[in-house]
Amino acid sequence: IELIEPIGEKSVWAEGLQGDQDGFHHIAFWVDDMREANDFLEAHDISLAQRGDIGEGQYAYYDGKESLGTLLELLEQTRHEL
């Protein structure tokens, strides 16, 4: 379980606090190849919502709310550009 407090800027975390949203904000998965995972999700109409770097790796949030009922977070330990 990860507790997140959005501060100031527009983000997927701040959007999760708006309205009457109940349930999970996101589910996270470690991936070996972010580019391959990105291509798979976009081929299934799940689009990139936000991404960022974390040390040598990166994270990316995908908007699966409509098809899956939640956002997906992908984490990659060694960054490969999208």
- Measure the CA–CA gap between 72 and 67, rounded to whole angstroms: 11
Q: What is the pTM of this model?
A: 0.75
Residue 14 burial by CB count (10 A; 0-12/13-18/19+): exposed, middle or buried? middle
Q: What is the pLDDT of residue 77?
A: 94
Please identify every stretch of the chain with a pLDDT value under 70, giving residue numbers as ranges.
1-4, 16-24
The secondary element (H helix, E strand) that includes residue 33 is none
pLDDT at 14: 74
Look at residue 17 in the predicted model and tell me its pLDDT: 66
User: pLDDT value at position 69?
Assistant: 82
Given a contact cutoff of 8 angstroms between Cβ atoms, the answer to whether 17 and 39 are in contact is no
Ordered alpha helix ranges (H), the chain: 12-15, 34-43, 65-68
pLDDT at position 45? 94
